[in-house]
């Protein structure tokens, strides 16, 4: 039996509410012990690029126009050139058919699975969509809107917080239409190697499913630029079949509110997806695309952005490292802290708020329980280092004192 309809329950893995609403409910009525410092949501607070207002002003008149669903030639060409330079792709990205603008990467992540299901035509009532656990909640929404079974693969420390690709059931892979992987991972900040990407690409081509590579944290790293899925395919001397990479300006350029991102990769998939998006999706405003063009041509603001984050990770290492051991991830702007010595993530979150006024997110709120009631995020908290350095340092010092006093 390859179909999943006998055990399928639509929405079974879809969280009843988003993590931040759950956190609000958890702390409702609780009084913070000190002046509150919020370290929950991954909303960048560094400065936006200084050219943003200028570019918007120059393009204000374009708000009158309906944008083309496939974006402007300048947008596609600039994104293709940026990908080519960033990942050493040798000019292999098809700017005409291999790049699409998105209203932030979230839009593409949400609705990509529908087209994956339709384009593959596997003839299943409820195909599988595989996602890591913990995961960005939009992945579960993608499975839901595609009327697919979400299959969660626990991402744990022993496998660099990535889904374990070894030993996956071939029957499961045969009924899979979409496989979601984030690298750098959210919330853990781990990076998939070229070898990992290549193993997944081989599985995708053997079993006919699409990889949705969420690379939105690709430019927030400590030392070495994380490799990407397109780079892995290029190193295999193959094309980009079965690979869709998604990225945006939200983290790279602190432009989360601009809602401008892109999908790139498999030109056959994208050229068919754009037809569906022409029926269902909102276009990306032309002024937003103009800002994106300017942003992808400028690396100076990205380098400065990365420097500011790395300063805060150095502070985290100073304050928390002596208590927890090394806490700095390879990439991203979150700390993923194992606090099992002090309790589970939910109880520690409550205590940190009540005792020292620091608001963090329980790791279990970013994951789903498995059938055996286990949850890979249960012993963790996620701490966002997005605030300015002074405020971040105060919060880290408070946390270090609290953890040290409780040992």
Domains, the chain: 19-47+301-406 (3.90.1150.10), 64-298 (3.40.640.10)
- Per-residue pLDDT tens listing for the chain (407 residues): 233 334 677 877 677 779 999 999 999 999 999 999 999 999 999 999 999 999 999 999 999 999 999 999 999 999 999 999 999 999 999 999 999 999 999 999 999 999 999 999 999 999 999 999 999 999 999 999 999 999 999 999 999 999 999 999 999 999 999 999 999 999 999 999 999 999 999 999 999 999 999 999 999 999 999 999 999 999 999 999 999 999 999 999 999 999 999 999 999 999 999 999 999 999 999 999 999 999 999 999 999 999 999 999 999 999 999 999 999 999 999 999 999 999 999 999 999 999 999 999 999 999 999 989 999 999 999 999 999 999 999 999 999 999 999 87
Q: What is the pLDDT of residue 2?
A: 30
DSSP-assigned states of every residue in 114-150 = HHHHHHH----SS-EEEEEES--HHHHHHHHHTT-EE
Residues ≥6 apart with Cβ < 8 Å to 260 = 101, 102, 103, 104, 248, 249, 284, 288, 289, 291, 292
**127 vs 149: CA distance, rounded Å:** 6
Rg of the chain in Å (alpha carbons)? 21
| φ and ψ at residue 392, rounded to 5 degrees | -60, -45
Count of Cβ atoms closer than 10 Å to residue 208 Cβ:
15
Whole-model pTM: value is 0.96
E runs forming strands in 254-315 = 261-265
Between β-strands 210-214 and 334-338, what pairing exists: parallel, antiparallel or unpaired? Answer: unpaired
Q: Which two tokens stand for residue 215?
A: 């690379």
């Amino acid at each position: 039996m390859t179909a999943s309809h006998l055990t399928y329950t639509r929405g079974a893995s879809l969280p009843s509410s988003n993590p931040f609403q759950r956190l609000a409910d958890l702390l409702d009525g609780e009084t913070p012990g000190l002046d509150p410092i919020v370290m929950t949501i991954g909303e960048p607070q560094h400065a936006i690029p200084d050219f943003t207002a200028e570019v918007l002003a120059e393009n204000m008149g374009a708000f009158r126009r309906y944008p083309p669903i496939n974006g402007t030639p300048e947008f596609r060409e600039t994104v293709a050139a940026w990908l080519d330079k960033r990942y050493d792709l040798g000019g292999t990205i098809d700017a005409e058919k291999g790049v699409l603008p998105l209203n932030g990467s979230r839009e593409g992540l949400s609705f990509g699975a529908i087209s994956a299901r339709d384009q593959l035509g596997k003839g299943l009532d409820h195909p599988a969509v595989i996602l890591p656990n913990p995961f960005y909640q939009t992945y579960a929404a993608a499975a839901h809107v595609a009327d697919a079974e979400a299959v969660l693969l626990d991402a744990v420390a022993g496998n660099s917080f990535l889904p374990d690709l070894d030993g996956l059931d071939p029957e499961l892979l045969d009924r899979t239409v979409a496989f979601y992987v984030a690298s750098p991972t959210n919330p853990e900040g781990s990076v998939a190697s070229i070898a990992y990407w290549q193993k997944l690409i081989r599985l995708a081509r053997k079993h006919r499913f699409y990889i949705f590579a969420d690379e939105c944290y690709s430019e927030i790293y400590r030392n070495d630029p994380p490799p990407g899925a397109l780079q892995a395919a290029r190193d295999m001397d193959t094309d980009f079949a079965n690979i869709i990479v998604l990225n945006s300006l939200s983290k790279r350029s602190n432009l989360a509110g601009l809602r401008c991102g892109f999908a790139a990769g498999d030109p056959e998939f994208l050229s068919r997806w754009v037809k569906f998006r022409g029926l269902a999706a909102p276009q990306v405003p032309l002024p937003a695309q103009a800002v994106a063009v300017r942003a992808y041509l400028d690396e100076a603001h990205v380098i400065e952005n990365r420097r500011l984050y790395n300063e805060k990770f150095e502070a985290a290492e100073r304050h928390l490292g002596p208590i927890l051991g090394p806490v700095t991830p390879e990439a991203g702007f979150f700390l993923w802290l194992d606090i099992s010595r002090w309790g589970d993530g939910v109880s520690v979150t409550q205590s940190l708020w009540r005792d020292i006024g620091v608001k963090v997110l329980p790791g279990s709120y970013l994951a789903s329980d498995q059938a055996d009631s286990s949850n890979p995020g249960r012993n963790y908290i996620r701490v966002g280092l997005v605030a300015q350095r002074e405020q971040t340092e105060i919060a880290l010092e408070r946390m270090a004192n609290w953890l040290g006093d409780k040992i």
